[in-house]
């Protein structure tokens, strides 16, 4: 049952109750945080675009999301005639459920003692740990893919074909940068990943994985995760200027609300996962007062920074073109994460080997980029020759 000390003395009624309470609290907090996140995103975006944003419902428009949710709830639930009914109904749940479940493995605080039991402040700490994130993100691909296909309509299908290729490609880079974290932490468990980051270099630089791994895996993970959850600038899945609304064009009412919920919940959970993997998660100095509250506070502050970062990126960056997206994924992120993984593995053995591999990687990388450049040139040559000769079919 994982390494939570709660289960070390067998499963009793009190233990089951504590688990239930943790699940309900995590569920409620996640829902409320999504409500706030949508409001926060709209407010910050409007500030950046020099307009007011939601300001009617509640103080500062903070209840706007609630009002929108109510509105969606009472709207007509349409199912297109050409839709595959079962698949169409199934898809939103396949999107939402993984988004909820990923949060279960995020440690939101330290270890607490409650009613004579010791427990970790996270819903589950399974031995497979961070692999659960990859499992769930590979399931959530189905939500978007099936939504597009099941709608029985042109634009959603295009959106979902894009989504499938995009999410499958970036999953590889994501997995490889997680592998670097696992390599240096020596454990898959998220709790162990956090505890391995406690401490400082030279007394003031925190021993975060961000610094211990070099910044490269973090950047790769950040980009891959942004692509994985289809946030701007990687939101080609629902590019409204090309695809109407992308995969959720045909969805209305509560089913649409579920997709919306899933997107923002993914933003919250993935920010939390980034904090856990690279920024020490729920760890930090205790300044004053009760010791158990500070890890939670540090966790919230760090996650908040990333939530702001995502809004900022959305406001600042234009959407990528599809071929740029694929080039970035396959030709930059995956080779870079593989090479960096090799370097880190070498550094684990000895710094000489690490630097040796570093030099080797630089030389090989240069050769590879040169080779792909020449390959691209010859492709262009063949292409132009094929066109001038009037033959089709040469790529």
Partner 1 sequence: MIDLLATQIALPDLITFLIAGCAVILGALGVILMRNPVHSALSMVMTLFAIAVLFIEQDAQFLAAVQVIVYAGAIVVLFLFVIMLLGVDKKEYLGKDQLRGQRPLAFLSVLVIFVEIMALSRGNWVSGAKGTVLSTSSPLSNVEQLARSIFTTYLLPFEATSVLLIIAVVGAVVLVRRSDVKSSPAEEPEELQTESEMK
Task: Answer whether 188's CB lies under 8 Å from 237's CB.
Answer: no
Q: Which range, of 32-40, 168-176, 210-218, 292-300, touches partner 1 by CB under 8 A? A: 168-176
Q: Quick check: 175 binds partner 1 (CB under 8 A)?
A: yes
Q: Which range, of 58-66, 144-152, 249-257, 277-285, touches partner 1 by CB under 8 A? A: 144-152
Nearest distance from C-beta of residue 217 to partner 1, angstroms: 18
Place of tokens 């500070």: 294
The Cα angle at residue 125 between residues 120 and 129, in degrees rounded to 5: 140
Q: Quick check: 164 binds partner 1 (CB under 8 A)?
A: yes
Task: Answer whether 261's CB lies under 8 Å from 96's CB.
Answer: yes
- Packing angle, helices 131-150 and 253-278, rounded to 10: 160
Q: Quick check: 221 binds partner 1 (CB under 8 A)?
A: no
Sign for the CA dihedral angle at 121, 190, 271, 225 comes to negative
Task: Answer whether 39's CB lies under 8 Å from 64's CB.
Answer: yes
Q: Quick check: 342 binds partner 1 (CB under 8 A)?
A: no
Q: Quick check: 394 binds partner 1 (CB under 8 A)?
A: yes
Q: Quick check: 286 binds partner 1 (CB under 8 A)?
A: no
Which of 63, 168, 183, 254 binds partner 1 (CB under 8 A)? It is: 168
Total residues contacting partner 1 by CB under 8 A comes to 35
Q: Which range, of 80-88, 207-215, 249-257, 308-316, touches partner 1 by CB under 8 A? A: 80-88
C-alpha pair distances (Å), 262 with each of 58, 94, 144, 190, 346:
24, 9, 11, 22, 39
Q: Quick check: 97 binds partner 1 (CB under 8 A)?
A: no
Nearest distance from C-beta of residue 240 to partner 1, angstroms: 21
Backbone torsions φ then ψ of 317, nearest 5 degrees? -105, 140
Task: Please give the Cα distance from 351 to 336 (Å, whole number).
Answer: 20
Task: Answer whether 272's CB lies under 8 Å from 103's CB.
Answer: yes
Taking the least distance from each CB to partner 1, the nearer of 152 and 281 is 152
Taking the least distance from each CB to partner 1, the nearer of 248 and 314 is 248
Q: Quick check: 223 binds partner 1 (CB under 8 A)?
A: no
Residues that bind partner 1 (CB under 8 A): 84, 86-87, 126-128, 131-132, 134-135, 137-139, 141-142, 145-146, 149, 157, 160-161, 164-165, 168-169, 171-172, 175, 188, 330, 382, 392-395
């Amino acid at each position: 049952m994982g390494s939570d000390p709660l289960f070390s003395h067998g499963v009793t009624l009190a233990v089951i109750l504590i688990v239930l309470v943790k699940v309900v609290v995590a569920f409620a907090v996640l829902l409320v945080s999504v409500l706030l996140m949508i409001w926060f995103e709209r407010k910050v975006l409007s500030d950046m675009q020099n307009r007011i944003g939601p300001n009617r419902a509640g103080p500062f428009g903070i209840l706007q999301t609630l009002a929108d949710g109510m509105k969606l709830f009472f709207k007509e639930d349409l199912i297109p005639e050409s839709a595959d009914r079962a698949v169409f109904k199934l898809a939103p749940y396949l999107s939402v459920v993984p988004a909820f479940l990923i949060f279960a493995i995020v440690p939101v605080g330290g270890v607490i003692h409650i009613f004579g039991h010791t427990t970790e402040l996270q819903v589950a700490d399974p031995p497979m740990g961070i692999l659960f994130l990859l499992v769930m993100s590979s399931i959530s691909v189905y939500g978007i893919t099936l939504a597009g296909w099941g709608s029985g309509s042109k634009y959603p299908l295009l959106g979902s074909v894009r989504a499938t290729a995009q999410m499958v490609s970036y999953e590889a880079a994501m997995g490889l940068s997680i592998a670097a974290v696992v390599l240096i932490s020596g454990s898959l468990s998220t709790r162990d990943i956090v505890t391995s980051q406690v401490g400082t270099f030279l007394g003031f630089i925190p021993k975060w994985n961000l610094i211990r791994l070099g910044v490269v895996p973090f950047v790769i993970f950040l980009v891959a995760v942004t692509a994985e959850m289809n946030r701007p600038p990687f939101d080609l899945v629902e590019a409204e200027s090309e695809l109407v609304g992308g995969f959720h064009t045909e969805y209305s009412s509560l089913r649409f609300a579920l997709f919306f919920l899933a997107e923002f919940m993914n933003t919250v959970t993935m920010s939390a996962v980034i904090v856990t993997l690279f920024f020490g998660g729920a760890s930090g100095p205790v300044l004053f007062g009760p010791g158990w509250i500070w890890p939670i506070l540090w966790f919230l502050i760090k996650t908040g920074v990333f939530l702001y970062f995502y809004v900022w990126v959305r406001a600042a960056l234009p959407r990528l073109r599809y071929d740029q997206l694929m080039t970035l994924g396959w030709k930059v992120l995956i080779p870079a994460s593989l090479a960096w993984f090799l370097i880190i593995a070498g550094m684990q053995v000895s710094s000489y080997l690490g630097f040796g591999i570093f030099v080797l990687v630089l030389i090989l990388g240069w050769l590879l980029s040169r080779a792909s450049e020449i390959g691209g040139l010859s492709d262009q040559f063949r292409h132009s020759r094929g066109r001038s000769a009037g033959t089709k079919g040469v790529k």
